[in-house]
């Protein structure tokens, strides 16, 4: 269960005739209905399509983790309350998080390859560390 703001969509009605809020409250027929959707309802409604999209970005083994971290970051964002199209915002955040994840993995892989390569070069220059350890006994 995700705990968040009670209203996901704008809760303030759009003024139709330019009158003040008090004047508009008298004539409710001129206002559009206010749609209130909780974070939980939005997540339940969008989760199937977002998980499919995340799967297409990072594969099935990482899709759920990507979606979970993305939704958590989106809800914690200071902009979350001001966003009109939360669905599009979540899609864009999924893409950004997938790119960040891919960059992080590539950097980690490059670092590991540099370390492995350095160990290989040292082994080629001298004796195998296992052989040296056996000789010391």
Burial readout 16-27 (b: 16 or more C-beta within 10 A, e: otherwise): eeeeeeeebeee
Q: Could you tell me how far CA 113 lies from the centroid of its own chain?
A: 28
- The SS3 assignment for 50 reads helix
How far is CA 120 from each of CA 115, 128, 134, rounded to the nearest angstrom?
9, 10, 19
pLDDT > 90? residue 67: yes
Separation of alpha carbons 99 and 113, rounded Å = 21
As a whole-number percent, the residues of the chain with pLDDT over 70 amount to: 65
Q: What is the pTM of this model?
A: 0.57
Domains for the chain: give ranges and CATH numbers: 39-136 (1.10.1740)
Confidence of residue 12 (pLDDT cuts 50, 70, 90): very low
pLDDT > 90? residue 65: yes
Separation of alpha carbons 32 and 12, rounded Å = 10
In this predicted model, what pLDDT tens digit does every residue of 36-64 receive, in sequence order? Answer: 678 889 999 999 999 999 999 999 999 99
């Amino acid at each position: 269960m995700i705990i968040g703001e009670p209203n996901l969509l704008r809760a303030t009605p759009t003024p139709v005739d330019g009158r003040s809020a008090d004047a508009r409250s008298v004539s409710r027929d001129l206002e559009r209905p206010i749609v209130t959707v909780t974070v939980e309802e939005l997540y339940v409604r969008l989760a199937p399509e977002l998980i499919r999209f995340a799967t297409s970005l990072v594969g099935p083994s990482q899709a759920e983790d990507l979606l979970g971290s993305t939704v958590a970051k989106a809800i914690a964002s200071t902009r979350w309350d001001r966003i009109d199209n939360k669905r599009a915002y979540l899609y864009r955040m999924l893409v950004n998080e997938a790119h960040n994840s891919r960059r992080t993995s590539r950097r980690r892989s490059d670092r590991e390859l540099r370390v492995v390569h350095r160990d290989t070069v040292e082994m080629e220059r001298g004796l195998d560390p296992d052989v040296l350890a056996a000789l010391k006994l």
